[in-house]
Structure 1
Amino acid sequence: MQMRMEALRVFAVGILVGWALGAVGKEVTGLPSCHFPAIFNFGDSNSDTGGMSAAFYPMVWPFGETFFHEAVGRASDGRLMVDFIAEHLKLPYLSAYLDSIGSSFRHGRNFGVNFRHGANFATGGATILRPNKTVFESGVSPFYLDIQIAHFDQFKARTTSLYNHAKSAFQRRKLPRPEDFSKALYVLDIGQNDISAGLSKKEEERQAYIPELVNKLSAAVQHLYEQGARAFWIHNTGPFGCMPVSILYAPNPQGTLDRCGCLKYSNGVAMEFNKQLKEAVVKLRADLPEAALTYVDIYAAKYALISDAKKQGFVEPPEKCCGKRVNGVDVQCGQKANVNGTEVYAASCENPSSYISWDGVHYTEAANHWFAKRIIMGLVSDNSIPIAQACHKAHHV
């Protein structure tokens, strides 16, 4: 029954999207624009703009090929949703907190690190809870949510001190203004890797595991609120069971797939997390009276595209653009491998914009753009407020 209701809800989102496409960027709520001076982002590879690449291993070609024309630390062929959010709010792309050099792509948006309009604390592989394994063992980031929050605290204290002691406007030009921290938009997009790790847990273990995830995320929001944050844009987690990496390598997928070819069990766990997260956001609204909290149903946006891929001009899942499997050997996107004495290179597909999945785990720029247009308008937000008005508290939640 839960899956059926979810399908109906996603179908309704698809209908809404159809008539609302022309409204992108309009103040459909009648509320004034917030004019956010900065964005502070916390998350995993879905919104990492170079943190993990700077800290451990550089991203390689063909990552970044579509828009940046070079690898710039994003797990995609181009822009991520957070990039489109920044564009819509007329802000520069976010520099990664861990990157001391910064992006140098040839589009005039970022040349070197600039934190004047925010910072990105997200890293690929990041989790809400502290990971049990290291990045070298499993690709999991050591920069889990508590560490990202600690980085923000350090960033705020240090930049405020530098700004206040600077002797000229030139010295302050790449530093956030202290007063902007309370006016900024705080985006949280994390939980996918925790859900992936929780799929192997028994039912009774998950009953305690998911509330732990939600409580930890709520605690992060409360901490940021205590630090002066007021406008929060909180993403739930996407349909993990629709990712090629989940479907193609499931041990016995027959009989476990829904009408879109997604793994029911995996998506069911994601939906339970999302349900509890939404309840937590409602509670936070009561606990944090000065905060404007928007719960964004990323799951609905992603599932809507996946379920209607062909009509939207995309190759139907679970196809991925970059990466291949040769004689049982997985060759990751942009990597080389020796398969039966032959060197195999995993290049990208000819037309990434026709694919939803970039590398089996992450999304293409085209898919990210499709999602971003929906979330920016507030079509999948519980209070229906577009992102440009997200500093306003809704009275009709």
Structure 2
Amino acid sequence: MGPSFSSETSAGFRRIKAVLVIYKAVVVAVVVVLPMLASLSESSKCEFSAIFNFGDSNSDTGGFWAAFPAQSGPFGMTYFKKPAGRASDGRLIIDFLAQALRFPFLSPYLQSIGSDFRHGANFATLASTVLLPNTSLFVTGISPFSLAIQLNQMKEFKVRVNEFSSTDAPVSVHLPSPDVFGKSLYTFYIGQNDFTSNLAAIGIEGVKQYLPQVTSQIAGTIQELYGLGGRTFFVLNLAPIGCYPAFIAELPHNSSDLDMYGCMVSYNNAVSDYNNMLRDTLRQTRKALPNASVVYVDIHSVMLELFRHPTLHGLMYGTKACCGYGGGAYNFNPKVYCGNSKEINGSIATASACDDPQNYVSWDGIHATEAANKLVTLAILNGSYFEPPFPIYEICDLQPIG
């Protein structure tokens, strides 16, 4: 289990030293272990046959833009060289995880052309929430594809797979076999929009009132997927939103609320409270499902370390966005979002991308760059951020993520 870095006490600084030791271990894995894995044949075995992902824009590989086509550059500029349905300059954590497991990138469930579901499906969509969006709870701009909808899509997907396999109709080469659901990894990276969508309107204390419903809904979804055959679940916790350029620029706070790294203490503390609640909920879920592996994945500690000490990890900028407008400490203006142009004070303002996103933690003020996502994935695969420990290297012959 990786250490947490939410405190500014001396104990917190001891934890920072500890994470650097872990990071060095990750480097060893890259330099020594992964090249050896590269020599393995493409037929290397893995107990997982597929990945089924549930989430929001942090893991959406094109679902939202398949439903509402409109994405333009500079999104996708680093890896795909064009917009690829991701809210980043390149690959996401789910992309790197799929590569490590020797799978192709996950096709969005909502993508009607060119999808290949033989190794899983991605139900995540940008702006999705865990709880059902409604006017009494959320502000406008939230996706209709909540976690409950994504679960229903998963159920329908399984029905269709079973139908194709039980009839005389030719089985589509782009669908998995019916036994895939018990041999898959189920991943969750969702909850950020439940946390942030109402912060400006009702504040931290108001948001805290419904966060227990969020963790309960995630647990209930895991139990339903268990009923569908799922046995291995990775649940990623929330990143420190108090360090994201967009939230620092937009959310109300005093200068006294900023720590020595420029992050908002009160908001980060609230995220830590939520993560602890999520951890406790998953512990209870684990007891209820003794035949399942329900793993809490602490990406919060990794992201907080990157925001606080970017230069120690090959980056340069923590709380400054690569793609934005206005320059300054955050390079974020809520009036003009990444890739868009708008008239401001009589002049046309364009939120353009930097030339070196590989040096940034934050891509557009809200999402991580490919560089940060890669570092987070390496930390996950190192195994130090799983609770309880999960032997992923014993289960799969992982390949290097390039």
Shorter-normalised TM range: 0.7 to 0.9
Query: Which residue, 338, 342, 356 being the options, matches 2:347?
Result: 342
Matched, 1:157 2:159: yes
Please report how far the alpha carbon of residue 11 of structure 1 lies from its aligned counterpart in structure 2 after TM superposition: 4.4
Residue 16 of structure 1 pairs with residue 28 of structure 2: no
Deviations 1:267-326 (A, max 9, x none): 111111110111111111110011011110010110111111122232232211111138
TM-score, normalization by structure 1: 0.87
- 3-state SS of 1:115 partner: coil
Among the aligned pairs, what percent are the same residue?
A: 39
Equivalent residue in structure 1 for 2:107, among 92, 95, 98: 95
SS of corresponding position for 2:361: coil
8 Å CA contact 2:316, 2:359 repeated in 1: yes
Cα distance in 2 for residues equivalent to 1:156 and 1:329: 41
Q: Which residue of 2 aligns with 1:128?
A: 130
Distance in 2, Cα, partners of 1:279 & 1:329: 35
Find the counterpart in structure 2 of residue 300 from structure 1: 301
Aligned mate of 1:61, from 64, 67, 73: 73
Match of 1:148 in 2: 150
Rounded Cα–Cα distance in structure 1 between residues aligned with 2:235 and 2:154: 17
> Aligned partners of 1:173 and 1:237: how far apart in 2?
36
Residue in 1 that maps onto 2:221: 220
Q: 1:76 aligns with which of 57, 68, 88?
A: 88
Change (3 A) 1:191 1:11: farther
Q: Sort the Cα spacing of 1:183 and 1:196 in 2 relative to 1 into closer, same or farther, 3 A.
A: same
Match of residue 380 from structure 1: 385
Cross-structure match for 2:196: 196
SS, match of residue 47 in structure 2 = coil
Determine the C-alpha separation between the residues in 1 that align with 2:189 and 2:65. 18
In the alignment of these two chains, the number of paired residues is: 375
Question: Offset at 1:21?
Answer: 2.2
Q: 2:88·2:367 contact (CA, 8 Å) conserved in 1?
A: yes
Match of 2:141 in 1: 139
Distance 1:319 1:230, change over 3 A: same
Which amino acid in the other structure matches residue 78 of structure 2?
A: T
Query: Is the Cα contact below 8 Å between 2:282 and 2:294 reproduced in 1?
Result: yes
1:307–1:384 Cα change, 3 Å: farther
CA contact (8 A) 1:17 1:379 kept: no
Other structure's SS at 2:348 match:
strand
Deviation at 1:140, TM superposition (A): 1.1
Give the whole-Å Cα distance in 2 for the aligned partners of 1:8 and 1:275. Answer: 20
5+ residue gaps, structure 1 = 102-111, 392-397
Structure 2 residue aligned with 1:261: 262
Distance in 1 between residues matched to 2:220 and 2:98, nearest whole Å: 26
Give the superposition deviation at 1:12: 2.2
C-alpha spacing 1:173/1:339, structure 2 compared with 1 (3 Å): same
Structure 2 CA distance for aligned equivalents of residues 224 and 131 of structure 1: 22
How far apart are residue 43 of structure 1 and its match? 0.4
Query: Are 2:399 and 1:370 aligned?
Result: no
Match of 2:39 in 1: none
> Once the two structures are superposed, what CA deviation does each residue of 1:66-123 show, in whole Å capped at 9, x if it has no partner?
101111100000000000000000001000001112xxxxxxxxxx110010000001
- Partners of 1:354 and 1:308 in 2: how far apart? 12
Contact kept, 8 Å, 2:250 with 2:334, in 1: the verdict is no
Superposed CA deviations along residues 204-262 of structure 1, whole A, max 9, x for unmatched, are 65554221111111101111111110011111111010000111234343000122211
CA distance in 2, matches of 1:7, 1:300: 13
Q: Contact 1:127/1:190 (CA < 8 Å) preserved in 2?
A: yes
Alignment correspondent of 1:395 = none
**Structure 2 counterpart of 1:355:** 360
Task: Give me the whole-angstrom Cα distance separating, in 1, the residues matched to 2:125 and 2:101.
Answer: 22
- Give the Cα–Cα distance (whole angstroms) in 2 for the partners of residues 328 and 72 of structure 1: 24
Q: Residue 183 of structure 1 corresponds to which residue in structure 2?
A: 183
> What RMSD in Å do the two structures reach over aligned CA positions?
2.7
The one-letter code matched in structure 2 to 1:20 is V
Q: For structure 2, which runs of at least 5 residues remain unmatched after alignment? A: 37-43, 397-402
SS at match of 1:82: helix
8 Å Cα contact 2:321-2:364 kept in structure 1 = yes
Q: Distance in 2 between matches of 1:292 and 1:307?
A: 32
Judge which range, 4-13 or 251-260, deviates more. 4-13
What TM-score comes out, normalization by structure 2 length? 0.86
Alignment partners' CA distance in 1, 2:122 and 2:69: 18
- Give the 3 Å change call, closer, same or farther, for CA 336–76 of structure 1 in structure 2: same
Q: Distance in 2 between matches of 1:33 and 1:382?
A: 24
Aligned partner of 2:98 among 86, 94, 99: 86
What are the superposed Cα offsets for residues 141-167 of structure 1, whole Å, 9 maximum, x if unpaired? Answer: 110111110110011111221233254
Shift of 1:64: 0.4
